[in-house]
Structure formats: structure tokens, C-alpha cells
């Protein structure tokens, strides 16, 4: 059953209904937001013995021992996907990270891959060089059929098709190569597929693991890498950025459909555009102001967005004066003369330059800023570069964090991403629509909450994470939580269930380690087999009272299939973000075949 939206939505609007991120210093999007609002820099400054590069290079006086370290770059949990250890070792780190992130995005949106019959488009960008640095490609001629399997794990091209396969989904699979603009290009293609009706939902993102890892960089005058390892966007003393790694994926769906399906919406993609500089007067790889300006303007035009309603501009922001000046000039041409001002910021000061995923860091920053109605500060900006001439532009540097109160009355953000080789890309995001009115939650009504995992340890960690999540978010409704748990999580072998009447009862049940796999705070299980009825999709209780739900909980924990769609047919619940599956990653690393 779906809600009927109270208003018509623009058919070109795409909702962001799920997000997953791993960045230096942040394993989740929530930790990433904490890094941003508290103005922390998560680029690490390393000891020589921590860096895995040639000794001669490390002792070069121009070598900068700084990078954004991704602490899960070499770890993976293959058991969730039915992947053998042999295959897990053969898979490149970007293949593995993207797969786990895609799973987390789907769960964050409240969807179980096993219950999806929709076409799911899968779009992702990676770094082709990572595969070559990870290991040599398999030799099909000498190894034979085994090399075919290994080459699909190793190949950058098969990253998105592997994600579809191992998640049990069908749809389009497109792996994008657009250098550092790869994330934006993936989102752009995903939105086009959704709007053309080729996909029902889409996962779009990027993964970057810089190898060797961890590593620093060799500083060169007037190049994009920082002299001291710090990135200072728009600062007079900026010398570039530091290298970093990460993964970001978004779960996307047409906005009207998302509202009807009771999805949680973080932000709305109003427009996207991409182009390339081609031949230009600028040095190859530098932004060409006229072409970048045309790209930014095209994204706003596609979305029917007036520039004076865009009050946040998340810049590519390399922190090198020449590149910052070119970008600000281009954005100023695209925005034109206007009296409204837009905050301008750059996330590379926090996490460094994530290559193909750098646009993902900026996009998640903007989406969460819209969602929380807060503008995070741009850190390491202490002396604004006067050559940028901000007073003559529509932009004001976001030096301190602030509540987002736009003059236009609506919150919109533009996010630019640039790639070497002349790639330009821009996204326009808008704050989520106000949720439709709904009746208050029915107090005291018994509800079934379920959890499952691969083993008892993961199940215990799920209980702990959910309890802490609920304790920190008292605004969450019990009917929404149960709806999301019951319909939005893959059913695994080890199971736990509770029948509860309130959030407090659910928190208590999650905390009670003395209980067995079935926890019920409502009544003891009955054994009456007549308490169930059956549908084509499983059993349902004969009623909605606590004893009937308790019987259902006991049956589900023992392995019976429950028709959760029928259980939630009253339409009371909506999908809400809850903790994703607690992967138990192990180290997998290979340097030869």
C-alpha cells in the first residue's frame, strides 16, 4: 500500500533516499557530518615507517607525508555476499568497497535486495590505476577458466555489474571513467536513466583507494598537491590539496514515486549537467571558465532553478589560488548579477582530495546541510585570497558554521566537480519536501520488531547499534522503526524479534542480554497453530493483538517466512534511516596471482 502524495511533483526531480559514505576519519555519513560541523581536519600526517613507497622517494625533501587514510581500504566481509575468500582476495579494494557501500545505501533507504523486483540501475566511478597497482592482471592463456572469474573480480569495468550480481539485483550496470568528476558523472547518468524510465531505482557513486596506502605525495610548484599537506580553499596561502581515499553511494528514485512509496528523502536532485573543455586556451587539465560556467548554468536550467535561489555553492576547491580563481570566475558568470548571496565552501580542507569520489564528499556535505538546515564552515581558511574579489561575486566564504536561512525561502545547493582532462560536472540539490501530514502514532498498539544477521556476534552488535540509535533519536516513531526493520532488511539465518508497545519497550528489549533469540515484552508465546493464516509470500497472524504477534515472532525466529507486506498493509509506517548491517571485515590483500 502506498500513500497518495498531496501535491504533484516535477517529473524531472529525483529523490536521494539513501546514502553511504566512508571517508578519512569517518566510517559513516553521520560521523562525516560530525567532522564537518565541528570543523575537523582528518588528513593524517604520517611517520616514515607508516608509508609504503620507495625509500628514495620518502627521503626526498619535497615529499609530503600527508594523506587522507581510509582505515578499511584492505578489509572486506565476503560472507554477507556469498563470496569465497579466494575471490575476495582477487577483488580490487574499490570493487569491495563499492559493493559494501551499495548495500548500505539500499539499507539506508529501507530496502531489502531479496524483496526487490524493480530494475535497479548501478552506476559507479573508480580509478583504473588501482587495479594495476593492486596486482598484475590474470593471464587467461596460461591459467585457463579460473582467470576469467578472477579477471571479473580484478577488472575496474565490472565493479557495477559485480555489485548487481552479488546483491541479487537486475538492471543497468555502468562503470564510469571521468577522472575526478567520476562521481558526478555517475549521478548524472543515473538520473537520466530514472527519468527515461529505464530504471526504477538507481545506486550511483564512486570508490577510490590510492595505492600504495597509506602514502604521501611529491610537492611540485604550481601543481595541485599541497606543499605542507593542508588544503586551504580560497586562502591566499593555499598550495593545493592532499590525496585521500573513500567511497560514496547514493540511492535515487523519482521524487513522486519516493513520496508515494513512503521513502525517507534526504534531498532532491533538481538538475545535473556535464561537459568537457575540449580545446581551450587554458593549460590541459585546468578549468576553462567559459565551459565550466556553461555546465553550471545548464544544470540550473535543466532543473528550472533561478541562480538567486541557490544559496550554497560547494566548490571543487582545490586550495590552489590559480584553480580557485578560475572556478570562482566561472561560477560568477553562471550565477550572473544578483543581489542574493550564496555561501561558498569546500570540503577538501577537511578530508583532502578523494579523486573520483571527491565530488561525492561534496555532494553528501550539501545533502546533509540541506537536511539539517546548517552550513558547515570551510576550514583552513584564515586569509581570504583577495584576487578572488568576493565582494564583486554572488558568493560569501563560509568561514564559520551557521544556521541556513536563505533569502529566497527555499534551500538549494550547487556542487561542482572537475576532472583532469577537461571534465566538468555540476549538480543542483534542493531540500526535501515537507512530509505529508499524518495521524499521531497509535499509542500502546503492539508491534513486531525484527533483526537478523549471519551469526550471533553480528546479531548482538545489531541490537546494540539499534538501541544506541533509538536512544539518540527520540523523535523516531515506533511504527516507522518496525516498518523499516521488517521490510527493509535482508532476512538472514540468526534472528531476533520482539513484540513491543513503545519505543521504551523496544530499547529495553534490545538491552536485555538475558533473553533468548525471541524477546517479547507483551506476552508469552502461544502454541495454537490456528493463530496463523497463509499467503503466497508467507504466514501472517490471525490478528494484530500481542499474543498473535508473539506467535508470529516465535515462528519467524525458527525460520518460517512471514508476509511482512501484509502485516504492514495498514499504511501506518514510513521508511526511516536506521543502522546498516554490521559488516565484520577481515583483511584481504594480494600482490600476485
Residue 429 grid cell: 540539490
Closest C-alpha to 554, from 511, 506, 497: 497
Rounded Cα distance, 423 and 429, in Å: 20
Pair 411, 553 in one domain: no
Rounded Cα distance, 242 and 426, in Å: 22
Question: Residue 5 falls within a domain, yes or no?
Answer: no
- At 522 the pLDDT is 40
**CATH number of the domain that residue 198 is part of:** 3.40.47.10
Pair 171, 222 in one domain: yes
Pair 333, 416 in one domain: yes
Rounded Cα distance, 70 and 246, in Å: 6
Pair 291, 367 in one domain: yes
Closest C-alpha to 237, from 396, 344, 385, 390: 385
Neighbours of 365 (CB within 10 A): 27
Say if pTM beats, i.e. exceeds, 0.85. yes
Pair 413, 503 in one domain: no
Pair 495, 409 in one domain: no
Pair 302, 408 in one domain: yes
Structural domain ending residue among the three candidates 402, 430, 458:
430
Structural domain ending residue among the three candidates 430, 453, 482:
430
pLDDT tens across 212-233, in order?
999 999 999 989 999 999 999 9
Q: 530 is in which domain, residue-wise? A: 471-568
Question: Residue 573 falls within a domain, yes or no?
Answer: no
Question: Residue 330 falls within a domain, yes or no?
Answer: yes
Sign of the Cα torsion 226, 227, 229, 231 reads: negative
Question: Residue 285 falls within a domain, yes or no?
Answer: yes
Pair 277, 371 in one domain: yes
Question: Residue 464 falls within a domain, yes or no?
Answer: no
CA-to-CA separations, 168 to 102, 156, 158, 330, 414, in angstroms, rounded: 12, 20, 15, 43, 34
DSSP label at residue 501: S
- At 171 the pLDDT is 97
Pair 179, 102 in one domain: yes
CA-based end-to-end distance of the chain: 51
- Give the mean pLDDT of the chain: 92
Pair 179, 328 in one domain: yes
Please list the ranges in the chain whose pLDDT falls under 50.
Answer: 1-6, 514-517, 519-527
Pair 509, 417 in one domain: no
Pair 414, 268 in one domain: yes
- For residue 533, list its beta bridge partners: 540
Question: Residue 147 falls within a domain, yes or no?
Answer: yes
> Would you list the DSSP string of 146-205?
HHHHHHHHH-GGGHHHHHHHHHT--S-EEEE--GGGHHHHHHHHHHHHHHTTS-SEEEEE
| 218 and 62 Cβ atoms separated by less than 8 Å | yes
Domain count along the chain: 2
Question: Residue 98 falls within a domain, yes or no?
Answer: yes
Q: What are phi and psi of 45, to 5 degrees?
A: -110, 120
Structural domain ending residue among the three candidates 430, 461, 489:
430
pLDDT tens across 414-434, in order?
999 999 999 999 999 999 999
Question: Residue 117 falls within a domain, yes or no?
Answer: yes
Strand ranges (E), 264-306: 267-276
- At 572 the pLDDT is 82
- At 593 the pLDDT is 53
Amino acid at each position: 500500500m502506498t500513500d497518495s502524495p498531496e501535491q504533484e511533483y516535477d517529473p524531472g526531480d529525483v529523490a536521494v533516499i539513501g546514502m553511504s559514505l566512508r571517508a578519512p576519519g569517518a566510517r559513516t555519513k553521520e560521523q562525516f557530518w560530525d567532522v564537518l560541523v565541528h570543523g575537523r581536519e582528518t588528513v593524517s600526517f604520517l611517520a616514515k615507517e607508516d608509508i609504503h613507497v620507495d625509500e628514495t622517494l620518502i627521503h626526498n625533501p619535497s615529499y609530503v607525508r600527508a594523506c587522507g587514510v581510509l582505515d578499511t581500504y584492505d578489509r572486506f566481509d565476503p560472507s554477507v555476499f556469498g563470496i569465497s575468500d579466494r575471490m575476495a582476495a582477487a577483488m580490487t579494494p574499490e570493487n569491495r568497497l563499492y559493493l559494501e557501500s551499495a548495500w548500505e545505501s539500499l539499507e539506508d533507504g529501507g530496502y531489502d535486495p531479496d524483496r526487490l523486483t524493480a530494475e535497479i540501475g548501478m552506476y559507479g566511478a573508480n580509478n583504473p590505476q588501482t587495479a594495476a597497482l593492486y596486482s598484475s592482471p590474470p593471464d587467461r592463456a596460461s591459467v585457463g577458466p579460473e582467470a576469467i572469474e578472477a579477471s571479473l573480480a580484478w577488472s575496474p569495468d565490472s565493479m557495477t555489474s559485480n555489485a548487481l550480481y552479488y546483491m541479487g539485483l537486475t538492471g543497468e550496470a555502468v562503470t564510469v571513467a571521468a577522472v575526478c568528476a567520476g562521481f558526478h558523472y555517475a549521478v548524472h547518468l543515473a538520473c537520466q536513466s530514472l527519468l527515461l524510465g529505464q530504471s526504477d531505482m538507481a545506486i550511483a557513486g564512486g570508490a577510490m583507494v590510492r595505492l600504495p596506502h597509506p602514502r604521501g605525495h611529491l610537492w611540485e610548484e604550481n601543481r595541485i598537491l599541497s606543499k605542507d599537506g593542508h588544503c586551504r580553499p580560497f586562502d591566499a596561502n593555499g598550495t593545493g590539496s592532499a590525496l585521500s581515499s573513500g567511497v560514496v553511494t547514493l540511492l535515487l528514485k523519482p521524487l513522486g514515486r519516493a513520496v508515494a512509496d513512503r521513502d525517507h528523502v534526504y534531498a532532491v536532485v533538481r538538475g545535473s549537467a556535464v561537459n568537457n573543455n575540449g580545446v581551450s586556451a587554458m593549460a590541459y587539465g585546468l578549468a576553462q571558465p567559459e565551459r565550466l560556467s556553461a555546465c553550471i548554468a545548464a544544470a540550473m536550467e535543466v532543473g528550472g532553478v533561478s541562480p538567486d535561489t541557490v544559496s550554497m555553492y560547494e566548490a571543487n576547491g582545490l586550495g590552489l589560488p590559480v584553480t580557485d580563481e578560475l572556478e570562482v570566475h566561472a561560477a560568477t558568470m553562471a550565477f550572473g548579477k544578483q543581489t542574493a548571496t550564496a555561501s561558498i565552501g569546500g570540503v577538501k580542507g577537511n578530508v583532502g582530495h578523494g579523486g573520483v569520489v571527491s565530488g561525492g564528499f561534496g555532494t553528501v556535505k550539501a545533502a546533509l546541510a540541506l537536511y539539517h538546515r546548517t552550513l558547515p564552515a570551510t576550514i583552513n581558511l584564515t586569509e581570504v585570497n583577495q584576487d578572488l574579489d568576493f565582494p564583486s561575486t554572488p558568493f560569501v566564504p563560509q568561514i564559520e558554521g551557521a544556521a541556513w536561512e536563505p533569502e529566497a525561502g527555499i534551500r538549494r545547493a550547487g556542487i561542482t566537480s572537475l576532472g583532469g582532462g577537461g571534465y566538468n560536472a555540476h549538480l543542483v540539490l534542493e531540500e526535501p519536501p515537507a512530509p505529508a501530514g499524518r495521524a499521531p502514532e497509535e499509542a500502546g498498539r503492539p508491534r513486531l520488531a525484527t533483526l537478523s544477521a549471519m551469526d550471533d556476534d553480528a546479531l548482538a552488535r545489531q541490537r546494540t547499534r539499534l538501541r544506541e540509535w533509538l536512544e539518540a533519536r527520540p523523535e523516531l516513531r515506533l511504527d516507522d522503526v518496525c516498518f523499516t526493520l521488517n521490510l527493509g532488511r535482508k532476512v538472514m539465518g540468526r534472528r531476533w524479534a520482539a513484540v513491543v508497545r513503545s519505543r521504551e519497550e523496544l530499547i529495553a528489549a534490545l538491552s536485555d542480554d538475558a533473553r533468548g533469540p525471541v524477546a517479547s515484552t507483551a506476552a508469552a508465546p502461544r502454541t495454537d497453530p490456528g493463530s496463523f493464516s497463509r499467503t503466497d509470500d508467507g504466514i501472517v497472524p490471525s490478528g494484530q493483538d500481542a499474543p498473535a504477534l508473539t506467535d508470529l515472532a516465535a515462528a519467524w525466529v525458527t525460520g518460517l517466512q512471514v508476509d511482512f507486506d501484509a502485516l504492514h498493509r495498514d499504511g501506518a509506517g514510513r521508511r526511516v534511516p536506521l543502522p546498516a548491517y554490521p559488516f565484520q571485515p577481515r583483511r584481504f590483500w594480494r600482490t600476485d596471482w
